[in-house]
């Protein structure tokens, strides 16, 4: 495959996943070109894979890592490694890929130390997005390499690398191996641009990956993340950007497909996982939405995040009218909670399906080159493009700040929230009031902002609050008025009512039915 063609695919995909991270970034910065070393002073580090004018964009904008009450960051010793996929092993050590070096790296949370293992099979100066990673019980780590069309294996005992060529789909000129997920004793990888998923055994010989390939149904450009339910059915999404797509269930025993059309407005469904009750959960990178699908009723339910903090998108130009969060990948923890990364909101979020609660944590480091920051300070995103959950710890990379971070979800939240109703029914032209009680759990040193978001259109449902911002020095009640338009479309919607204090947003969903 020609390198120029692979670069075009990489650029196209990066445009999808960042989509200009607020439309101010030129697509040219996504090109994986080798630098002209004759025109720059070399540092002898991976920074040299970019020209100096791109160093603060891709390598880091700040020399020091940061911390908050909930999140600690750690600076990777080697400059400009660009960490991406991340996992943990049974001992609690953290493993991650470096897209700008081709190396596997390890972080020991006990000693706070890094080890980076040189990949002798990697060509100097090359770069690749390594989205998928899986730690095998025998100690091998498998990871994908989209730029070079490879699947890699790293032996954590011998520190040796092996690589296998990922097969192209018959009739397709390109392949894009992306995420890796276990299915029984095998692994499955989605071919993002190759219109297939591939299942393979981790017992491999030779240089070509031996796979069972399952072509994606219908004529969709992208085949996204994969998950498996307890019955062994494989679920994934196929879609065309901004044109929607389908949720696919594939039964390996019968080779039967079942397709379900995704709801209107779900335009880049990337992340997918199976939760309690075998519900399927999907995150949409083209909006602020995440959705569930109930296989029994075959019904989708839409949910929405809180608005992103201004510090993440800046809006120095004033052109951003409706900022979104772009939820990316998702996974469940051992408490039955759904975690996902909000790419352009620079946040990690956790949703409790039982309580109907959503908590969003702001990542402290920010790179201004990926947002509409202008001259604003403390503005931007660190490009948190993956994460892994290990009990109450969530580990994540910062692709453009050269950090890895950890979120401790056991740290108490600064306030508690309770709505007077979790379900309300309105007829057209009617309105209802929900009282939200807020209680401080500590002494708060700043205002608490009140916000709402909804999955209904503003023409159907109007929501107002008695306060936009409060000083929460004692228990207080905020009134939320919900009104259905005289011509509102009937349906069931989710209303998110949130309270934001500094770097954490605590919200609760109310189900609103317009009869």
Cα–Cα–Cα angle for 31, 400, 85, rounded to 5 degrees: 90
Backbone φ/ψ region at 255: left (φ over 0), alpha (ψ -120 to 50), beta:
left
Selection from 166, 174, 215, 214 nearest residue 193 by Cα: 174
Residues 349 and 362: their CA atoms lie apart, in Å, by: 9
The structure tokens listed for 428 are 């057209």
Q: What's domain 415-514's superfamily in CATH?
A: Immunoglobulins (2.60.40.10)
Residue 491: the pLDDT is 96
Residue 384: the pLDDT is 98
Residue with tokens 């070509």: 208
Residues 402 and 64: their CA atoms lie apart, in Å, by: 10
- The phi and psi torsions of 4 (rounded to 5 degrees) equal -65, -35
Residues 267 and 184: their CA atoms lie apart, in Å, by: 30
327: which residues sit within 8 A by CB, 6+ positions away?
A: 271, 283, 284, 285, 288, 289, 290, 305, 340, 341, 342, 343, 349
Read out DSSP for 281-314? Answer: EEEETTSSEEEEEETTTTEEEEEEPPPPPHHHH-
Residue 41: the pLDDT is 54
Residue 88: the pLDDT is 98
Residues 301 and 312: their CA atoms lie apart, in Å, by: 28
Q: pTM value?
A: 0.93
Mean pLDDT by 10 residues, the chain (515 residues): 40 38 31 46 89 96 96 98 98 98 98 98 95 96 97 98 94 90 95 96 96 93 96 96 94 96 96 97 97 97 98 96 97 97 98 98 98 95 98 97 98 98 97 98 97 97 98 98 96 98 98 97
Q: Coil, strand or helix: which one is 410?
A: coil
Q: Please, are residues 164 and 230 in contact by the beta-carbon 8 Å criterion?
A: no
The structure tokens listed for 246 are 């389908």
Strands 504-514 and 423-426, sheet pairing: parallel
Residue with tokens 């759904």: 338
Residue 148: the pLDDT is 95
Residue 25: the pLDDT is 29
- Sorted by where each begins, the domain ranges of the chain are 415-514
Residues 112 and 404: their CA atoms lie apart, in Å, by: 11
Q: Coil, strand or helix: which one is 3?
A: helix
349: which residues sit within 8 A by CB, 6+ positions away?
A: 305, 327, 339, 340, 341, 342, 358, 359, 360, 361
Give 45-104 pLDDT, tens digit per residue: 999 999 999 999 999 999 999 999 999 999 999 999 999 999 999 999 999 999 999 999
Residues 217 and 141: their CA atoms lie apart, in Å, by: 30
Q: How many CA atoms lie within 13 A of 241 on its CB side?
A: 13
Residues 423 and 387: their CA atoms lie apart, in Å, by: 33
Q: Please, are residues 467 and 420 in contact by the beta-carbon 8 Å criterion?
A: no
Give 16-34 pLDDT, tens digit per residue: 343 333 332 222 333 354 4
Q: What element of type H or E holds 321?
A: none
* DSSP bridge partners of 212: 199
3-state SS, one letter per residue, for 24-86: CCCHHHHCCCCCCHHHCCCCCCHHHHCCHHHHHHHCCCCCCCCECCCEEEEECCCCCCCEEEE
Give 131-157 pLDDT, tens digit per residue: 999 999 999 999 999 999 999 999 999
């Amino acid at each position: 495959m020609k390198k120029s063609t692979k670069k075009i695919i990489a650029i196209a995909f990066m445009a999808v996943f960042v989509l200009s991270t607020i439309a101010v970034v030129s697509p040219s910065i996504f090109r994986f070109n080798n630098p002209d070393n004759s025109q720059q002073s070399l540092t002898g580090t991976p920074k040299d894979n970019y020209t100096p004018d791109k160093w603060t964009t891709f390598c880091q904008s700040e020399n020091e890592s940061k911390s908050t009450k909930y999140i600690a960051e750690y600076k990777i010793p080697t400059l400009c490694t660009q960490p991406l996929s991340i996992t943990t092993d049974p001992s609690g050590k953290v493993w991650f890929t470096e897209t700008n070096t081709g190396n596997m790296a390890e972080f020991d949370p006990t000693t706070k130390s890094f080890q980076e293992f040189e990949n002798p099979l990697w060509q100097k100066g090359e770069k690749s997005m390594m989205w998928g990673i899986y730690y095998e019980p025998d100690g091998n780590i498998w990871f994908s390499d989209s730029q070079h069309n490879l699947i890699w294996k790293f032996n954590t005992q011998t520190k040796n690398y092996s690589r296998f060529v990922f097969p192209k789909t018959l009739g397709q000129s390109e392949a894009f191996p992306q995420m890796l997920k276990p299915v029984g004793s095998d692994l499955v990888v989605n071919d993002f641009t190759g219109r297939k998923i591939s299942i393979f055994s981790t017992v491999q010989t030779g240089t070509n990956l031996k796979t069972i390939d399952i072509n994606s149904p219908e004529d969709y450009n992208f085949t996204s993340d994969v998950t498996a339910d307890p019955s062994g059915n494989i679920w994934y999404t196929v879609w065309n950007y901004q044109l929607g797509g389908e949720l696919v269930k594939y039964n390996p025993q019968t080779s039967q497909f079942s397709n379900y059309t995704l709801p209107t407005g779900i335009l880049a469904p990337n992340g997918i996982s199976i939760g309690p009750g075998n519900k399927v959960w999907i995150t949409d990178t083209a909006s602020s939405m995440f959705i569930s699908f109930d296989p029994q009723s075959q019904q989708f339910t839409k949910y929405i995040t809180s608005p992103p903090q201004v510090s993440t998108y800046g809006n120095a130009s004033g052109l951003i009218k409706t900022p979104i969060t772009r939820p990316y990948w998702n996974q469940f923890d051992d408490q039955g909670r759904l975690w996902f990364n909000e790419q352009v909101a620079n946040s990690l979020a956790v949703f409790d399906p039982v309580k109907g609660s959503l908590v969003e944590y702001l990542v402290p480091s920010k790179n201004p080159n990926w947002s509409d920051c202008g001259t604003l300070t403390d503005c931007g995103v660190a490009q948190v493009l993956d994460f892994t959950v290990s009990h109450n710890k969530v580990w994540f990379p910062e692709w453009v700040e050269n950090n890895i971070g950890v979120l401790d979800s056991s740290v108490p939240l600064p306030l508690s929230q309770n709505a007077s109703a979790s379900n309300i029914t309105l007829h057209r032209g009617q309105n209802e009031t929900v009282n939200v009680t807020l209680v401080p759990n500590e002494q708060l040193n700043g205002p608490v902002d009140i916000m709402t978001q909804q999955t209904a259109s503003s023409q159907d449902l109007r929501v107002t609050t008695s306060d936009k911002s409060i000083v929460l020095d004692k228990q207080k009640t905020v009134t939320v008025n919900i009104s259905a338009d005289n011509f509102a479309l009937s349906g069931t919607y989710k209303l998110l009512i949130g309270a934001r204090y500094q770097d954490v947003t605590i919200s609760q969903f109310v189900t609103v039915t317009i009869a």
